[in-house]
Every structure is written in structure tokens, then in C-alpha cells.
Amino acid sequence: TRDYRFLEGSVYGDKAFLSCFDGSHAFLIEAKILSDGSLTGSFKSGKHYTVSWEAKRNNQATLADAYALANSTTSTGINFELPNQVGNIVSLNQEKFKNKVKILEIMGTWCPNCKDATVYLQELKNNPSFEQVEVLSLAFERYRDTSTAIKQLAIYHQKNNLVWDILLGGYYDKKEAAQTLGFLDKVVAYPTLIILDKENKIRHIYSGFYGPATQKYQDFKSDFEKKIKDLL
């Protein structure tokens, strides 16, 4: 699902290290460089997760198509009614969304990659070419208590000076999120960006995010924006 954001590291002899702490994630990637150029090592996320890995260079390797990882469960227009960051109910049937292309950002306020996606969507909203595009963030939080989660959304909304609503989708478990949404067969990653046409039909589902830490960020933006313009 694209990238681990910004990492910094060093190589000492036959050992290599990459790490980051971004306020949410603490990652440590350790590797031993073998005589044939392959790597073996471990990946640690905080204190709770460690996994071993092996790797060989493959210049033709690619990730799976981000637009093919999740699928819509319906061919008709979708709708939902969810509370926003101040507790007001928002629906896609409201007047402001009529005859507009919509982008739904499946995200969490705890998710750094989601923050990168939010920053990108802010840039897109500021572009006059996308004046007829509406954005909604659907947040899945680490709190089951609704009032606590909505307070978190309000803080995130204010800190990021968002011009669109963040709606509370529910708890951040991916299986629960897919069941809550109903119109996706699964939630593969946070963030997931969904493009709806003017009739609220799902046209594209992009799982994960090629963020600004990657060489493919510009390619992602060009392709994503072309898909939106085609619907406009």
C-alpha cells in the first residue's frame, strides 16, 4: 500500500539501518548485506511488532495496482448519514453535493499517511480547476466512545484549517470499517481515496498512498487529477 513515509538511515560496513518517528509510528529497519548483494533483516514497529524479512534487488519489481486492491459492492449511487466534527449529521444527498464530483478520504486522525493525503487534497481544493469538486473525510478512530472520537475530529479539523467536514465513520479496525461503509468489499489501507461521479456512483478506489516521500508522488497526482477531470 505504497510507502512508509520519510525514513533516515546509515550504512556501516555490511549493516544498514533505517528509522523514523513521526509522532505516531516508531519504525526501525535493520539489515545485513550479504555477499551476493541480498539483504536479511528485521522490521520493528514500536515495542509491539517485529518481523524478519529477506530481499533481493529486482529493478522490474512493482507494487500491485492501487486502483485494483478494493472494489465497490454496488453499481448505484451511494449515500450515508454520519456526524461531523461538531456532531451535525452530513449526507451526500445534501444540496451542496448535488451535481458535484466528490472525493471521499477514508482516513484516521492518528494516521501520518492520511495527513499527507489531506495536505494533497487541500492543494487540490485550492486549484481553480477543481472548484466543482467536493471533499469529505471519513474518519475511523481508535476510540469506540463517539463523543471522544468527535472531539478528536474537531481538533484535527481546526489544526489543519480544513474547508470540508470530517465525518466519524467508526472504529479503526479495517473489517469493521468495511462493514460500516457497506459500499466497499474491504478496506485495505488508511488512507483510501474514493472518487464519486455527479450521481454519487463510485468510479475509482485508490488504496494506500504514494506520498511526497516517494518518487511516484507526482505521477500519482497527475493520474488522480486526470480521473477527476474526466468526470467533470
pTM (predicted TM-score): 0.92
Burial of residue 60, with CB atoms counted within 10 A of its CB: 0-12 exposed, 13-18 middle, 19 or more buried: exposed
User: Distance between CA atoms of 58 and 64, rounded to whole angstroms?
Assistant: 15
- pLDDT at residue number 129: 94
Helix (H, G, I), strand (E, B) or coil at 176: helix
Query: Which whole number is the average pLDDT over 185-210?
Result: 97
Task: Give the three cell numbers for residue 168.
Answer: 466519524
Task: Give the three cell numbers for residue 31.
Answer: 539489515
Q: What is the DSSP string of 55-66?
A: E---TT--PPPG
Residues 111-170: pLDDT tens digits? 999 999 999 999 999 999 999 999 999 999 999 999 999 999 999 999 999 999 999 999
pLDDT > 90? residue 24:
no
